[in-house]
Structures are given as structure tokens and as C-alpha cells.
Amino acid sequence: MPSTFQPPLPLRSETPSAWAEAALADPEALLSDHAHCEKKAALSALTLARSFGNASRASGLLVRLAEEEMDHFRRVLDALQGFGWTLRPDRGNVYAQSLHRLAAKGLLDRLLIAALIEARSCERLWLLERAATGHPVLGSAPWLAFLLELERCEAGHALSYRGLAEERFGAEARTRLDWWLDREAEVVQGLPWRSTVH
Ligand SMILES: [Fe+2]
Ligand SMILES: [Fe+2]
């Protein structure tokens, strides 16, 4: 396991490692929230695919990305069941909702928000993976390996979304991402720590 984290995007607010201890206080709630996040990531990717036209390369990439999120969703559900837990109701993702409230540039912002959510998820999964080592339930080798797999996959998704934004919008995407990196840092710093990924 690497000792330092390299986020796929240059996030401007580093999550303290103590966050992971707080998030692990209620692992059933944490996994439930993560399951809902994976499901919403799949739905979001499919919705974005429609914006690119069904036959486009971008659409194909987004459909494959949605398949990966569905695979994550199913496996987090399997893990919940394996631990003897139940999927709790979706309490909503205040982090994602806060970002979407700031959006003003249609598809460009939707792609960049998706990239930022993936990058932040990646950072948080890395912290969870480190904190879960030695945890009585979540410290098992298969679970830690799954967290690592998720972290790497979400990093790839962050780069895919940023790449799609740059392909479609060019220099405007880079300028807008710079603006979004500050907004994302403000949003994430303003949220209380709970047993959720964000
Ligand atoms: Fe995922
Ligand atoms: Fe993802």
C-alpha cells in the first residue's frame, strides 16, 4: 500500500486521516451510503451517455463506466449481506447536491462535477483502506483488496470524466475545472463528518 496518496485531480482540500475513524464509527451506515453512491454513479453515467449520442465513442465509454459502477453496487450489496447487515435507506448525498446547486454550464459542469466526485471518492477510499486495516470487521484481506480496487477504478473514472470534458470543451474545460477545484474544496470543508463517503 502506498504511504502517500496521489489524487487523480489536484484536489485543494486534503481530508484529515481522522475523518476515516469517524466514518468507520458506523460501518453498516458507511457501506449503505457507499452502495447508494455506486448506484447513483451508474445512473449518472448513463444519463451523461445520452448527452453524447448513442453511437459515439464517448457514449460507449460512459456505458462501460456505468457497468463498472453497477458491478461495484452489486458487490457492496453482497458485502453488506456478507457482514450480516442490511442496506439502510438513502439519506441523500449533501456533498453531491451542493456541487450540483453551483452548476451553471450544463454538460461541462456535469462532467466536471462527476470528475470531482470520483476524485474525492478515491481519496476517501484510500483513507478508509488505511484506517480499516486492523478493524474487527472491515480489516479482512478481501475487503481491503476490494477497497483498493475501488480506489483505483474511481481514479480512472475521474480521469475519464475530465478527459471527456476537455475533448468536448477544450480550454474552457481547464479554466472551469480550476474554478470548480476551489468550489469543491469549500463544499467538502463545510460538511460535517458522518459515516458516509463524502
Ligand atoms: Fe464505483
Ligand atoms: Fe466511479
Between the CA of 154 and the centroid of ligand 1 the distance, in Å, is 6
Taking the CA of 115 as reference, the closest ligand is 2
Is residue 1 scored above 60 in pLDDT? no
User: What is the pLDDT at residue 2?
Assistant: 52
Which residue stretches of 52-89 are H helix? 57-82
Band of pLDDT at residue 53, cut at 50, 70 and 90:
confident
Contacts of 165 (CB under 8 A, 6+ apart): 108, 111, 112, 115, 173, 176, 177
CA atoms within a 13 Å half-sphere pointing along the CA-CB vector of 163: 11
Provide the strand spans (E) within the chain.
none
pLDDT band at 5 (very low <50, low <70, confident <90, very high): confident
Report pLDDT for 3. 61
What is the percent of the chain where pLDDT is above 70? 98
What pLDDT shows up at residue 137?
87
Query: In the predicted model, is pLDDT for residue 174 greater than 80?
Result: yes
**What pTM was computed for the model?**
0.96
Residue 126, CA atoms < 13 Å, CB-side half-sphere: 22
Contact status, residue 35 vs residue 87, Cβ threshold 8 Å: yes
Is the pLDDT assigned to residue 22 strictly greater than 80?
Answer: yes
Taking only the tens place, the pLDDT of each residue in 118-170 is 999 999 999 999 999 888 889 999 999 999 999 999 999 999 999 999 999 99
- Three-state SS across 27-61? HHHHHHHHHHHHHHHHHHHHHHHHHCCCCCHHHHH
What is the CA(43)–ligand 1 centre distance, in A?
A: 11
Sign of torsion over alpha carbons 86, 66, 150, 161: negative
| Continuous segment of H or E residues that includes residue 135 | none
Query: What pLDDT is attached to residue 60?
Result: 95
Round the average pLDDT of the chain to a whole number and report it. Answer: 95
Q: List the domains of the chain with CATH numbers.
A: 20-189 (1.20.1260.10)
* Neighbouring residues of the ion ligand 2, judged by CB less than 5 Å: 41, 118, 154, 157
pLDDT of residue 54: 75
Centroid of ligand 1 to alpha carbon of 72 (angstroms): 5
Q: Is the pLDDT of residue 61 over 90?
A: yes
Residue 176 predicted with pLDDT over 70? yes
Contacts of 90 (CB under 8 A, 6+ apart): 36
Is 186's pLDDT higher than 90?
yes
Distance in Å, CA 122 to ligand 2 centroid: 8
Q: Over range 92-114, report the average pLDDT.
A: 97
Who's near 136: CB < 8 A, 6+ residues apart?
none
